[in-house]
Amino acid sequence: MDMSALLLSRLQFAFTVSFHIIFPSFTIGLAAWLAVLEGLHLASGRPVYRRLFDFWLKIFGLAFGLGVVSGIVMGFEFGTNWSRLSEASGPIQGPLLAYESFTAFALEASFFGVLIFGRPRVSPLNYFIATLMVALGTTFSAFWIMVNNSWMQVPVGYALDHGNFVPTDWTAIIFSPVVWVRFPHMLLAAYLTGAFCVAATGAWYRLRNTYAVEARVMLRMGLGLAAVLLPIQLFFGHLNGDYVHERQPIKFAAIEGRWHDEQPAAEVVLAWPDAAGERNRFELKIPVLGSLIATMTLDSKEVGLTDFPRQDRPPVAIPFFAFRAMVGCGLLMMALAWLGSFYELNGRLDRQRLLLWAIFLGFPLPFAATLTGWFTAEVGRQPWTVYGLMRTADAVTPGLTPGATLASLVFFGLIYLLIFSFGILYIYRLLRAGPAVKAHAAATNPKRPLALTGDSPTTEVEAMERAR
């Protein structure tokens, strides 16, 4: 096996999966938000919910499309680049991914068509059901992916047969405690992403003094949801830390930047890990806090990286910094959500221009947190692909040449660059134009019906809402 084909395959997988996760983490949250809006509109009949629904549906459509096409790539890459892994762990990972595509992919893709095109063709109730199906599909998808990845993190319920993994206990695999802390962590991350993007859009409109009714709903719902969910997310983050502490001590030591055993252990806040010297440079640490975080006691002994042979350690700097970036983003988001909700509920957010700008420009925070969280989990698992059982170096396709891998990496890079930059441009245009996008729609697609129902901004209800 050529080392550079391995390295290029890893780069390619990291690139394609990082690109991919941006979209599902956005669309899982948005799908739930759309379901809530449609439900609220059915229940209350307020046109603003319908306007917001139609508006966010367009953005959802773009992001969903990018998620689908980049997700198909993932379904193939296991076989193209990691054929040794897929042959050995196929009996376990294959059925899990099959469940993902059966229960989620098919569900969301089929009902997505109804969502975009079916409004005039189905009853309001059936349309609402289609919305729920899409939301359910995205959630199922996240669930199976988390089961699959959790098995790679902490393999359970298997036996080894000639180097292949044979499932012996599916209940243990699906109901692994690791799944049930990581799945909610991911789901919450997705809801937070949706909430922050919605709130950021609301803040943007309020800063521009436009779409007052919509901005109010978006700010209240987005910030309010984020304010409630963030503490819960921190709690699940802590539970994730517990499983890593218990099951993946090397990863835990890498995240903590702890090179040697300590009792009681200190918490390294910031440092520059020096893998060659097996120590930290420019270290800032707080005594005893490390033990407290790891075990909730003041005197526990915590293991260091030097307990393990070098070839079993991950590249320390990536999980170390990625973890800190994730926590930093989370805390910043919590501050924004709490402050924003506080002022909004008091009706004084309008005057907090700086805070509004921070909420508006804070939309990348949840994406950054999700990505860095995954970097921590995945790079921290190295050098293993199936933790403790199969090394990444043994998982790659035998006979894969560096030339072919480089070609595919460059090819994916170019295509993703193209679709990503245009996707962002189009989403930006939609967001800038706002919910009453008629002029723009008319300019680019003359056949598009202008106002779908009686939600036109000149109705009386609308006028009352604007006056409110």
* Site residues (CB under 8 A) for other proteins, limited to 116-175: 116-118, 120-122, 161, 166-168, 170
Question: Where in 261-290 is the site for other proteins (CB under 8 A)?
Answer: none
- Enumerate residues 405-424 that contact other proteins by CB under 8 A: 407-408, 411-412, 415, 418-419, 422-423
The H or E element that residue 270 is part of is strand 267-274
Residue 313: helix, strand or coil by DSSP? coil
Q: Which of 347, 447, 467, 468 binds other proteins (CB under 8 A)?
A: 447
11: exposed, middle or buried (Cβ count in 10 Å: 0-12, 13-18, 19+): middle
Closer CB to other proteins, 364 or 403, in the complex: 403
Kindly state the smallest distance separating residue 187's Cβ from other proteins, in Å: 21
| CB 344, min distance to other proteins, A | 32
Q: How many angstroms separate the Cα of 352 from the Cα of each of 82, 86, 141, 338?
A: 52, 53, 39, 14
Nearer to other proteins, 410 or 461 (CB): 410
Q: C-alpha 192: how far from its chain's center?
A: 9
Total number of residues that touch other proteins (CB under 8 A) = 78
Q: Where does residue 47 fall: left (phi above 0), alpha (psi -120 to 50 degrees), or beta otherwise? A: alpha
When asked if residue 70 is in the footprint of other proteins (CB under 8 A), the reply is yes
Among residue numbers 369 through 408, which ones bind other proteins (CB under 8 A)?
A: 397, 399-401, 403-404, 407-408
In whole angstroms, give the CA distance from residue 71 to residue 16.
Answer: 9
- Interface residue with other proteins, options 39, 61, 241, 457 (CB under 8 A): 61
**Cβ-based neighbours of 210, under 8 Å, separated by 6 or more:** 434
- In the bound state with other proteins, the residue whose beta carbon lies nearer, of 176 and 300, is 176
Query: With respect to other proteins, which residue has the nearer C-beta, 180 or 412?
Result: 412
Indicate the residue among 126 and 263 with the shorter CB distance to other proteins.
126
Residues with Cβ within 8 Å of 55's Cβ and at least 6 positions away in sequence, in order, are: 214, 430, 434, 435, 437
Most distant CA atoms of the chain, gap in Å: 73
Residue closer to other proteins, measured from CB, 424 or 461: 424
Tell which positions 172-231 bind other proteins, by CB under 8 A: none
